[in-house]
Structure 1
C-alpha cells in the first residue's frame, strides 16, 4: 500500500495483544510474555474474554473496553475473528496490526484487507512471528529471545530465518535496529519497509531475506532509493530449481528467474549474497570499510602460509595484489630482516617483535599504491598479540578505512581482535574470509556505480513505431505467433538496427535464383516456416552458395531435409540473403523475453548455435541507456574478445550498446513482443550487423512500458511549445543531461539558487548532479525547458520538479528559471506542466516550501491556485504553499477529518 502509519507499526507508543493467554506454549502466551519482559515503556494491554487478569495485570474482554486505542495491535486469535477485529480497531483509531495468526484462507485475507482499508490500518502478516525494535525495548513477537540494540535492520519473508538470525546476532553481539517478519505479507511488504528504513536514523544498513517479490516496480523504486542512502544486502532463496522451462527462443531458455533477480538486485545498487553468514559478513564490511575505494590489496603477515592462503583467495576472487614500488621496497628493506618475502604478501617473518609490526604497517599505509591493507597475524610465543595490537592502534585508528584484519586463533588473539574492532577496523576470522569480504565490496561498488553512471547519448534514430506496429498486427491477424525472418529484420530496421538484406520467396528454385541474382552471389539460403524457429537444427540453413546451380541444388536438398526432420511443418518458402564477409566479427546474441515477476528483460552474450552450451550471457532490466548497456556487455566473457586480440582490432562497442538501447525501446513500444533473438549479431570494428532474428508475438499484450519494473523515459511528455515568441521543447530530464544541467546551474545567480534550495552553491558535486538527472519517473518528475544556442547546442532555460511520497498522496514542487529570463512567463508554463503531470499520476496534493522573502514565487504559486498553510508558524522563514488536486478538495486544514 504505502509508508503511511509504518511509524505506528515499527515504533508504537502502546500495544495490545488480542488472544493474550497464560496457556504454556501458546502463541498468545509467548507474545504476551515477550512484550511484558522487554523494556518497552508504553502501555501494554491484554485482550481475552477468558481472562480477568494476566500476571497481575487487568485483561479486557474486547477492544471497545480498552482505556485507549493502541498504536499497535497483535492478533493471536483464530482466523475467522481477524477481519472483524481489524474493523473494530480501525474505528477506534488503531492504525497498525500484526496478524500473528496463521491459516487464513484467501477469502479471510481479503476480508482483513477490506476491513483495514476503511481507516488505512497497516497489516503485517498474517502467519508471521512479529517484529522487534530493540531501541525502544519492543519485542512484539513470539521469538525465543530478544535482540540487542544496533544499527542493522533485518526483514525476512521466513519466520524461521528471522529467529535463526536473532539467535545468531545475539550470540555474536551484533545489534539490530529492527527485525521484521513479513509472513504472507498481504499488505506491508519489502517496498514499504525499504522506504521507511531508508529514512530511519537508527538504521545504517538493511538486510533482506527474499523468497519472492510480488510488486516489482514498487520494490525497485524503493530499493533504488534506499540503496542511495545506505547499504542494502539481499539473500535471495531459490537459486536451485528456479523453474526455468524449455523455451522456443534462446533468450527464453537462458533468462531464468534467478538470473533476473540477480539483474534486479544489481540494477537497484544492492548486493546479493548466498548465505546468512555472508549477509552479516557483508553488513560488517560495508559498515566499517565502505569508504575504502581501493581495488588492490596488500597482505601483511607474520606467517608465509597465511599469506599464501590470502593470495590464493585473491586469485580465485579476481582481486589484484598491489605490486610494491621501488621506494616501498627500499623502506621495507630498512625495517625487515634480509629474508623477508620482498613481494606481496609482505611476510615479516614469524619472529617479528612489536616494533617490526608497527614499522611495516606504517610503511604500507604511507604509500597510497598499497591499496587496502590486510593485516594477518598468527599468535606466537615470542610476543603477545595484545601488545602488537596496542602498538599498531595509533596507525589503524587514523587509517581504519584502509585496514582489514584477520587475527588467527581464538583466546590468544581475543583481546587484540577487540582492540582493532573498537578502533573501527573490519576484522575477519580467516584471510580467505577477509578477501571474500573485499571482493563483495568490489561487487557492491560496481552495483552502486550503475546507479549513478552518466551515459552518452545513443545515436539511434527515432524509431518508426507505426511501421513496427503494422508488422506485428499483420502477423497476429493471420494467426501467427512468430514473425518470418524478413519481417523480423524489417522490425529491427524500424528501430535503426542494421541487418543483412533479405528477400523472402515462394517455395521455388526459380524464385530463389531470381532473388540471388538481384542480391549478388554468394548467398545464404534459409527455410521459411512458421513452425520452425531454429532453422539450422533441421537442415534449414545453407551458406556461401556461389552460383545458380549450387542454389538450385540447395533448394531441393533443404526441402527434403526439413521434411524428414519436421514432417508436419508448413513450408512457406525460403529467404535469400547475400553472404557477408567480415573476418573479424564476433558472434553475439542480443535477446529479450518477459519474466513472470519483473516483466521485460534483455539478454546479451556470446552468440551462435551453441549459445545454451557456451552459457556466456548476462541479463539486465530495461530501460537501458548506453552506460547500462555497456555494464551489461562487460559482464560477458565475449566482451574480452570484443576488446580486440592478436590481429583482431577492437570492436565498435558503441554500436553494440546502441543495439541494446534500441531493443530496450522496442520492448517499451511494443506490448505484443514476447520473445526476441538477434543471433548471430556480428560485432566488429565496422559496427554491428544482424544476420538472423526471431521474434515471437503474443495476441494478449505481455510487455510494454507499463510492464517495466523500472518506468522508462516518458516520451509522451516531450512537447514543443511556443514561449515568448520562440519555439522551445519542454521535456522530462534524462540521465544524459548531466553536463547540460551542470551548465544551467552554474549560469544561475547565487541569490536565485538560495531562493530555490535555501543555499547559494552553484557548484554541485557529481553525485548530487546524478541524483538530479537520474530520476525515478514513477515517483519524480523534472521538466526542463530547452532551446538551442547560436552554435546549435542544447541549453536549459528552466526546470520544474516534483518529488512524491511513495503513496502518491503528496508531492513537493520546486521551480527555477534562468536568472536572465525571470518574469517572462516561463515559470507559469513549467508550473502548468507540473500540475498536469501530477494530475495524470494521481497525486492528491502539491506542496512547496517557499522562503517568505521569495515574493515572486509566492505570487506565482497563488496565481496557480495554491494557498499558504495557516498552520505554518508566523516566525518561520518559509511558507508552505498547498494545492489539492484530488477533485480540487479544500486544503487539508479545512477538512473535517484532519487525520485523513
Structure 2
C-alpha cells in the first residue's frame, strides 16, 4: 500500500490509546504518559472497557464510542484481542494503528494464525498497521510520542527505522546524552503491513528529514525496499546495519521476528546497488548518526589532521589510508601560514602536529588556516590531555571559531574524565566528537561512501547488442532435462547455461573434479578466481565453507580445493 495514510499516522490530529490505564508499570499507562508529557497538541482518547475516567480524560469503552475522527490508534492489549480491535478501527475509518501487542508469528503457528486474521481485517478497511511487537513511533515535528520509550528525542533532521525495540531505545538514549537530534523514530516490529520500503518512501518526501538510519533483521518485500531506497538515497543518505550474518545470528533473528534471513552477501550487493552505506556495528551506526546530524556531507576525503600529539595523528592517518581516504597535501601557501603561528621545530607535514603545549589560541589559529585552505575538504582535530593544556578551554575556543561554519570539522578528545567537559561543550555546540581517532575517521569515511555510492547508482548501464541471440531449443532442453531430475534445483553451471541461452552475459564458469584440474581451469580463465562447491544438493554454499574467494596463485587454488572437499 506504499505511503497511503502514513501522513495520518505520523502527523495525526487525534490519537486513540486502546488499552490505556493508570497502572504505573503498564504499557498502557506509559503510552498515555508519553503523549501527555510530550505535549502532543492533538486530541487523546483513552479506550478501556473498564474505565470511566483516567488521566483527567473521559474513557471510552470502544473506539466506536468516540464518535469523532481518529487518525491514529495505538493498541496495547493481548494479541488475541487485536483482530476485533483492528476491525473496529477500520469501521470508524481510522488512518492506521500501531500494534504494540506481542505474541504473533515469533511464537509459532498460533501467532501466525492471529496475524493472518489481523491482516485480513486491516485489508478489508484499508487500515495501515505498524507492528505488531513494536515499540511504537515518535515524530518531533508533530510532538508525537506514540511509543513506550521513556523520552522524546531532541529535534533534528535524522530519522531512525528499526526492527528491534531494544535498538530503538538504545539509540534514543545515547542520542539524548550526545545531543543528537532526530525527527522520526520508527519501530517496525514484525512488519505485518508497513515495512522499511514504505517508511523510507514516506521519509523521502518530508522536509524535516535529511538522512535515514536503519537497523534491519529481515526484509519482507525486497522489490519495494530496493525501489524506495534507490530513489530516496539519491537525495538523502541511508545508513544501514543488517543483523543476522552468522548462523547463530540468523537463528536469533528468527526467534525475535519470526523470519529467517537470507544470505548476507546478497544484502551487501543490494545495499550497494541501492546507494545504501552498510555499517557493521552498533557503534559505527551511531557514529554515522552523529556525523550526519551535525555536519555537512562529505564529498571529498582530503582531510587535514590537527593534533597535539604525534601518536594519535599517525593512528588517524593510518586509519584514513586503510579506508581508502586521502590526507590533504598542504600547499606552500598553507604551509607558510602555519609557519607563522607554529613553533619552527615542528614537522611541516599532514598530520599537523601543533605540539603538546598547544594553547587554545594555537588550536584556533590552525583550524582557521585549514578551513580557508582550498586543498583541505575536512578537518579532524585531536587533543590528547596533558598537564600543559585544558581540554575544556580548547573546546570553547573551537566552538567559537566553528560557530555557523558549513565545513566538515569533527573532533577526537582522547581520554577519560579530564576531557569529558570538553566533549560536553562540543555536543552542546553540535560539533561531532569521538573518543578515538579511528572511530572518527571511520565515521568520516562511511559518510563519504554515500557520495561514492551515488556515483554508482547514477551510472548509465552499457548498451546491450541490438541483435540479441536467443537459443530457445537449448533453453528448453536444459529446462526439460532438469525437470526430469528428483531435485529440479539448477546448479550454478546449469543456471548460467540457461542465462546464456537467452543472451544474458555471464562470467566464465568451469567444473573441476580434482585440484589439478582446478588449477588448469584457473589459468585458462585468468587469475584471481573463486572456487565454489559444485553440488545440486547444497544451495547455500557459504554455510558449508563452500566458497573461497580471491585466489591468486597455484598454492591458494590447491589449498582452497582441499578445504572445500574436506
State the TM-score, normalizing by the size of structure 1. Answer: 0.53
Q: Residue 141 of structure 2: SS of its match in structure 1?
A: helix
Deviations 1:23-50 (A, max 9, x none): 3422223222322332012111112221
2:507, 2:42 → 1: CA distance?
70
* Residue of structure 1 in register with 2:258 after alignment: none
User: 1:567-602: CA deviations, max 9, x gaps?
Assistant: xxxxxxxxxxxx9997x9435459999xxxxxx99x
Write the distance in 2 (CA, Å) between the matches of 1:111 and 1:221.
Answer: 29
Alignment correspondent of 1:26:
26
Kindly state the Cα deviation for residue 68 of structure 1 after the two structures are TM-superposed.
Answer: 0.8
1:373 matched to which residue of 2?
A: 379
Structure 1 contact 34–142 (Cα < 8 Å) conserved = yes
Map of 1:470-481 to 2, 5 A cutoff?
470-476=476-482, 478-479=484-485
How far, CA to CA, are the matches of 1:357 and 1:110 in structure 2? Answer: 62
3-state secondary structure, aligned to 2:443? helix
* Structure-2 separation of matches of 1:172 and 1:151: 15
Structure 2 residue aligned with 1:17: 17
Query: Where does residue 184 of structure 1 map in the other structure?
Result: 190
Pair 1:586-2:521 in alignment: no
2:296 and 2:408 in contact (8 A); partners too:
no
Which one of 155, 159, 183 corresponds to residue 153 of structure 1?
159
- The change in CA–CA distance for 1:190 and 1:92 in structure 2 (over 3 A counts) is same
Contact 1:288–1:424, Cα closer than 8 Å, also in 2:
yes
With over 3 angstroms needed to count, the CA separation of the structure-2 counterparts of 1:334 and 1:178, relative to structure 1, is closer
Match of 1:185, SS state, is coil
User: Which among 171, 176, 179 is matched to residue 173 of structure 1?
Assistant: 179
Match of 2:75 in 1: 75
1:590-626 Cα shifts (integer Å, max 9, x gaps) = 9999xxxxxx99x9xxxxxx9834x23xxxxxxxxxx
Is 2:285 aligned against 1:279?
yes
Change in Cα spacing, 1:496 to 1:174, as seen in structure 2 (3 Å) is closer
Q: Which residue in the other structure is 1:127 paired with? A: 133
Provide, for residues 78-111 of structure 1, a one-character-per-residue CA deviation record: whole Å limited to 9, x for no partner.
3332222222221222121122222242222122
Matched-pair contact (CA < 8 Å) for 2:532–2:547: no
Shift of 1:348: 1.7
After TM superposition, list the pairs within 5 Å mapping 1:731-770 onto structure 2. Answer: none
- Whether the aligned pair in 2 keeps the contact of 1:17 and 1:28 (CA below 8 Å) is yes
CA distance in 1, matches of 2:378, 2:178: 26
How far residue 165 of structure 1 moved from its aligned partner, in angstroms, is: 2.2
Whole-Å separation in 2 of the counterparts to 1:542 and 1:345: 46
- Secondary structure in 2 aligned to 1:154? strand
Q: Does 1:337 align with 2:343?
A: yes
Q: Which residue of 1 aligns with 2:90?
A: 90
- 1:508-523 → structure 2 map (5 Å cutoff): none
Residue 259 of structure 1 corresponds to: 265
Higher strand share: 1
Q: 1:8, 1:96 within 8 Å by CA — same for their partners in 2?
A: yes
Structure 2: gaps of 5 or more residues: 105-110, 252-260, 558-566
Matched ranges for 1:103-502 at <5 A: 103-104=103-104, 105-241=111-247, 257-379=263-385, 382=388, 388=394, 396=402, 400-408=406-414, 425-458=431-464, 462-476=468-482, 478-479=484-485, 492=500, 495=503
Instruction: Measure the CA separation in 1 of the matches of 2:335 and 2:155.
Output: 46
Counterpart check, 1:536 vs 2:514: yes
Other structure's SS at 1:375 match: strand
Please say if residues 152 and 178 of structure 1, whose CA atoms lie closer than 8 Å, have aligned partners that are also in contact.
yes
Q: Could you give the per-residue CA deviations for residues 498-521 of structure 1, whole angstroms, max 9, x where no partner exists?
A: 999xxxxxxxxxxxxxxxxxxxxx
Q: Shift of the alpha carbon at 1:478?
A: 4.9
CA shift, 1:293, in A, is 2.2
- Give the CA deviation at 1:211: 0.5
Counterpart CA distance in 2 for 1:54 and 1:76 is: 16
Shift of 1:190: 0.9
Change (3 A) 1:396 1:38: closer
1:55 match: 55
Bigger relative CO (Cα 8 Å, ≥ 6 apart): 2
Q: Distance in 2 between matches of 1:499 and 1:295?
A: 34
Give SS of 2:482's match.
helix
Shift of 1:212: 0.2
Choose 132-141 or 371-380, whichever is displaced more.
Answer: 371-380
**Partner Cα distance (1:42, 1:143) in 2:** 20
> How far apart in 2 are the matches of 1:491 and 1:88?
51
Go from structure 1 to structure 2 and tell me whether the alpha carbon gap of 1:448 and 1:498 turns closer, same or farther (over 3 Å shift): closer
Write the deviation string for residues 542-585 of structure 1: whole angstroms up to 9, x where unpaired: 97xxxxxxxxxxxxxxxxxxxxxxxxxxxxxxxxxxx9997x94
Flag the 1:127–1:580 CA change in 2: closer, same or farther, 3 A.
closer
**Structure 2 SS opposite 1:20:** coil
Output one character per residue of 1:647-683: Cα deviation in whole Å (capped at 9) or x when no partner: xxxxxxxxxxxxxxxxxxxxxxxxxxxxxxxx9xxxx
Show the 5 A alignment for 1:527-676: 534-536=512-514, 585-589=526-530, 612-613=547-548, 615-616=549-550
How far the C-alpha of 1:12 sits from its partner, in A, is 0.9
Distance 1:150 1:180 in 2: 15
The answer (yes or no) to whether the contact 2:35–2:144 under 8 Å persists in 1 is: yes
Cα distance in 1 for residues equivalent to 2:286 and 2:190: 25
Q: Could you tell me which residue of structure 2 aligns to residue 704 of structure 1?
A: none
SS at match of 2:234: helix
SS in structure 1 at match of 2:156: strand
Give the 3 Å change call, closer, same or farther, for CA 4–387 of structure 1 in structure 2. same
CA 1:486–1:182 in structure 2 vs 1: closer, same or farther (change >3 Å)?
A: closer
Aligned residues: 531
**TM-aligned CA deviation for residue 314 of structure 1:** 2.7
The one-character-per-residue Cα deviations of 1:470-494 (angstroms, maximum 9, x if unpaired) are: 3323423653856898997697477
Closer/same/farther in 2, CA of residues 484 and 471 from structure 1, 3 Å limit: farther
CA contact (8 A) 1:69 1:89 kept: no
Q: 1:129 offset after TM fit, Å?
A: 2.1
Change in 2 beyond 3 A, CA 1:498/1:439:
closer
User: How far did 1:291 drift?
Assistant: 3.2
Tell me, in whole angstroms, the C-alpha distance in 1 between the residues paired with 2:522 and 2:229. Answer: 46
Contact 1:397-1:424 at 8 Å conserved across structures? no
**SS where residue 83 of structure 2 aligns?**
helix
TM-score by length of 2: 0.81
Structure 1 unaligned blocks of 5 or more: 246-254, 501-525, 527-532, 544-578, 594-599, 604-609, 617-636, 642-678, 680-900
Relative distance call for 1:399 and 1:72 in structure 2 (3 A) is: closer
Given that 1:299 and 1:375 are in contact with CA atoms closer than 8 Å, whether structure 2 keeps it comes out as yes
Is residue 2:42 matched to residue 1:42? yes
Shift of 1:395: 5.8
Partner of 1:300: helix, strand, or coil?
strand
C-alpha distance in structure 2 between counterparts of 1:341 and 1:535, whole Å: 59
